[in-house]
Amino acid sequence: MSESGPDGRTTLARTLALMFSVIAGLCAFELFLSYGASDGVDLIDWVRAAFICVSTFWLAWGAAQAVAGLTTRPPIPARHTGAIEAKTVVLVPVYNEDPVATFARVAAMDAAIRATGLGDKFHIAILSDTRDEKIALREEHWFLRLLSETRGEGRIFYRRRDQNHGRKAGNIAEFIKSSGAAYDFAIILDADSLMEAATMVEMVRRIQAEPNLGLLQTLPKIINARSRFGRLMQFSSSFYSPIFCRGLAMMQGRTGPFWGHNAIVRVPAFAASCGLPELSGSPPFGGHILSHDYVEAALLARQGWIVRVDDDLEGSYEEGPENIVDHAKRDRRWCQGNLQHSRLLLAPGLKPWSRFVFLQGILAYLSSLLWLGFLLGSIAAPLFTPPVDYFPIEGWPFPVLPPSETLKAIALGLGIVGLLLIPKVLILTDAARRGRSIGFGGVGQTIRSGVSEFLYTSIAAPVFLMYQTRSILQVVFGIDGGWPAQVRGDGQLDFGQAWAASNWIVFSGAIGLALTHFFAPHLLMWLLPVTGPMVLAPLIIAWCSRPGNERLFSTPLTLTSSTLIKEHHRILSRWLGEDQSTSSKSVGSGAAQRTIARV
Amino acid sequence: MNMINVSMSSIHSVKLRGALPAAPMAMPAQRLEWPSRRMSRLSLLAMLLWGRPARAGR
């Protein structure tokens, strides 16, 4: 492959974003240090200023990404306009998933593909890594049902590995090693992914038109959410994510992202570039590469292939966690995967941007630790502060009061909140101006959803901060999170379940409040937005898992569902009826029943 | 087992009817680590000195 660096637009976007973020971080550093200097700068002030510098840099980086997304439009991509001759396989890796829901998705996508008249150009392969024998038996039963319903023999395949070596990446690699040469392209999905046939065809047209394109990623939108938390995430993924994704595409250029699913790869490029080795040492930092997608994107780029995210591609869907606890469980896996990338920062031959992406992924988790360090440092700071000397000038009879730096503290606080809030306000304004808000229920409804999203996430932020901190500490102390199956389905939690999952956060919050009261009572009000939600964590978790208001957090897909989603629900409800008549206690069908119950 | 009647013959049928096309393709394991810690440190030094990533032959 020919080597090529980033183009001018990409370099400019990266430079501006980096400059803005560095300046914001340094301003925060300087403001905090001068605030701390009112009673003399000591070591803990330097440490806290460093924490706030890095954290502000990270927030500013996100804000810059949003601004880049708002101020640019996607370039018109090259596309192959002739007849499609290439063979594409749609890969559906499954791991202890509910086969009824997953195979119903396959049936719906297969019907949509056949309707395009390109049924013979697209195959579907279900790649099972399921370890649970009961679920495996159901997979086999429902595969035969899928074949008979779709007449898919020779087009739809199923295989189950005896050993799930290398987890999901190993599952895909095993397919490529045994059957990869039969296909030009592979569309990689997740068990809960759904993709419109028109999107698949368009992806093939784009990757075929650009011979150097190794991987094309879409932005999947969350569908079928039911709980307050799930609907909030669904709204965010539809409303904010496309703008952030545009900014990301702008900055990543030819070294784009891979998020592990809802993407198309050029099979020979993927095979030649993405064979993942086991890292030396034992988990969590050694062993199998957990967040393989980032690494595969970096490896493709290392070989000179273009990796691109096309944010204009619609019709790409996934499902998300329905409550904070399930989100935290998934986040635990991602945390371990991202921190493991610290082993790869100096991997030979990677593009500088790929290394930076690894660093960003690590920082995304470490920022929680930095904020917590800053808060703990603030509580402990009075212990290190020397008593105020009101008579610093020898012989001067009147006391000299230290200058008040409260204004600087307020400016710093406002600046940090602004970095969080301004991108969202800009996206809301842009949506109202361009008419994008119509798809979200109109301007008023979009503003209500946007404000609610900000309030919900602000209140729940300390709970996420604690879960992330625990994940980081577990990884650092060598505790491997393993490979738990994804939790899908309703996910409603009662108070007891929420308490069991978060009582340690309540105790931590109570201890934080007590320490603040004793050591830094003047900070009690300032720290209440953090310690308060921690003490109330079980209530927040349980409340967020309840069914959400049908109007709040509307998205274009909740207002008008697509034909494919409706077809999936139709097949699913029919199959579930059969499943129940076959067995009143079938294993694992609960999630599917809840999925259909939402519709 | 008794919940869904999946007999041995249907398991065999799944293997037969679901079999993927046999079309092997090589997927060599890539190099992501330096052979030794010393090499890793040297690569970091090289990156710092020249401001660009160290390159390794593959």
A325-366 per-position pLDDT tens digit: 999 999 999 999 999 999 999 899 999 999 999 998 998 898
Min CA distance, A182 vs chain B (Å)? Answer: 5
Chain A residue with minimal CA distance to B46?
A: A346
A441 near A338, Cβ under 8 Å? Answer: no
| pLDDT, chain A, mean | 88
Residue A299 contacts B where some CB pair is shorter than 8 Å: yes
Residues 6+ apart with CB under 8 A from A50: A29
Residue B8 contacts A where some CB pair is shorter than 8 Å: no
Please report the pLDDT score of residue A135 as a whole number.
Answer: 94
Please report the pLDDT score of residue A587 as a whole number.
Answer: 42
What pLDDT band is residue B48 in, cutting at 50, 70 and 90? low
A590 near A489, Cβ under 8 Å? Answer: yes
Residues 6+ apart with CB under 8 A from A154: none
Please report the pLDDT score of residue A181 as a whole number.
Answer: 97
Please report the pLDDT score of residue A591 as a whole number.
Answer: 52
Beta bridge partners, A123, equal A89
Residue A580 contacts B where some CB pair is shorter than 8 Å: no
Q: What is the pLDDT of residues A129-186, one digit of tens each?
A: 999 999 999 999 999 999 999 999 999 999 999 888 888 999 999 999 999 999 999 9
Chain A residue with minimal CA distance to B26?
A: A177
Contacts of B50 in chain A (CB under 8 A): none
Please report the pLDDT score of residue A39 as a whole number.
Answer: 65
Min CA distance, A336 vs chain B (Å)? Answer: 18
Contacts of A157 in chain B (CB under 8 A): 18-21
Please report the pLDDT score of residue A18 as a whole number.
Answer: 92
Q: In sequence order, which ranges of A121-165 are alpha helices (DSSP H)?
A: 133-150
Cα separation, A98 vs A245, whole angstroms = 31
Beta bridge partners, A195, equal A316
Calculate mean pLDDT across residues A259-269: 97
> Tokens at residue A525, please?
């009000």
Residue A597: pLDDT over 70: no
Residue A106: pLDDT over 60: yes
User: H-helix or E-strand containing A508?
Assistant: helix A495-519
Contacts of B29 in chain A (CB under 8 A): 275-277
Min CA distance, A563 vs chain B (Å)? Answer: 28
Beta bridge partners, A291, equal none
Of residues A309 and A412, more confidence is placed in A309
- pLDDT-above-90 percentage for chain A: 66
A587 near A267, Cβ under 8 Å? Answer: no
Measured CA distances, A462 to A41, A324, A456, A457, A579 (Å): 28, 12, 11, 9, 42
Residue A141 contacts B where some CB pair is shorter than 8 Å: yes
Q: Flag if A143 and B23 touch (Cβ within 8 Å).
A: no
Q: Flag if A343 and B21 touch (Cβ within 8 Å).
A: no
Residue B18 contacts A where some CB pair is shorter than 8 Å: yes
Calculate mean pLDDT across residues A1-22: 81
Please report the pLDDT score of residue B56 as a whole number.
Answer: 37
Contacts of B14 in chain A (CB under 8 A): 140, 143-144, 158
AA identity, residue B25: M
> Tokens at residue A198, please?
């028109």
Give A 204-263 residues with CB within 8 A of chain B.
none
Residues 6+ apart with CB under 8 A from A368: A464, A465, A468, A469, A472
Residue B35 contacts A where some CB pair is shorter than 8 Å: no
Residue A19 contacts B where some CB pair is shorter than 8 Å: no
Q: What is the pLDDT of residues A364-408, one digit of tens each?
A: 898 888 888 888 887 877 777 666 666 667 777 666 666 666 777
Of residues A121 and A10, more confidence is placed in A121
What pLDDT band is residue A559 in, cutting at 50, 70 and 90? confident
Contacts of B43 in chain A (CB under 8 A): 346, 348
> Tokens at residue A37, please?
């200097």
User: Could you tell me if residue A369 is left (phi over 0), alpha (psi between -120 and 50 degrees) or otherwise beta?
Assistant: alpha
Of residues A142 and A479, more confidence is placed in A142
Q: In sequence order, which ranges of A520-562 are alpha helices (DSSP H)?
A: 524-535, 537-544, 556-559
What pLDDT band is residue A324 in, cutting at 50, 70 and 90? very high
Chain B residue with minimal CA distance to A91?
A: B20
Q: Flag if A125 and B24 touch (Cβ within 8 Å).
A: no
